[in-house]
Amino acid sequence: MPKKVYLITKNWMKVLVAKEAMGNDGIEIKQLKVDTPEIQSLDVKEIVKFSAKWAAEKFKKPVIKSDTSLWIEALNGFPGPFAHYVDKTLGPEGILRLMKKSKNRKAKIITAVAFCEPGRKPIVKISELRGKISKKLEGKYGWFSDFFFIPNGYKKPMGCYPDEERKKIWPQDCWKKIAKIIKRNK
């Protein structure tokens, strides 16, 4: 019988990625569409750790919480874990304006995934997707960084690739590491 774990998110793409990465490991992913408190931190690991612990205790269920940080080298790591807020305020166009004169286009997307059971400490694993910032917005799929983030090994921003392909581009090793931990805790 598969172990049931609740993924705390309103983002359907996170559900697809989680199921793709963990579904074959005997783990049943159930989406729980709730907001969790998020601490203000520059460390995405600390943010998911706090939110996962809160949700596990509140709902008395084993939970997974993930979050993503966009780290742009020329901007000293900005916007970091505040990408959602920056999307609402500056938008993708604002990031390209900030990068207009920069020769250094290196960037990475850091995904942190936390697993927590009630009464236990959260366990966090991270993955990184390295790439660069494009000079123009492209694509019609996804949101915010998908229109300007070009993963290493690709020629166009992620927004140029349909959802099925994009979900395979996202790093899944953190999800797989969490799946191993969940399987050990069955």
- β-pairing verdict for 123-133 and 149-151: antiparallel
Please identify which of the residues 35, 67, 87, 173 carries the catalytic annotation: 67
Ramachandran area for residue 153 (φ above 0: left; ψ -120 to 50: alpha; else beta): left
Q: Phi and psi for 69 in degrees, rounded to 5?
A: -125, 130
d(CA 116, CA 122): 4
Q: What is the sign, positive or negative, of the torsion defined by CA atoms of 135, 139, 140, 146?
A: negative
pTM for the full model?
0.90
Cross-strand partners of 63: 6, 116
* One pLDDT digit (tens) per residue for the chain, 186 residues: 458 999 999 888 888 888 888 877 788 899 999 989 889 899 999 999 999 999 999 999 999 999 999 999 999 999 999 998 999 999 999 999 999 999 999 999 999 999 999 999 999 999 999 999 999 999 999 999 999 999 999 999 999 999 888 888 888 889 989 998 888 875
- Residue 176 corresponds to which tokens in the numbers above? 């797989």
DSSP 24-69: GGTEEEEEE---------S-HHHHHHHHHHHHHHHHTS-EEEEEEE
Is 163 a residue of the active site?
A: no
- What CATH number matches the domain at 3-184, 3.40.50.9100, 3.90.950.10, 3.30.1360.70, 3.40.190.10? 3.90.950.10
Tokens of 155: 């020629």
Cα Rg of the chain, angstroms: 17
Of 26, 24, 5, the residue nearest 113 (C-alpha)? 5
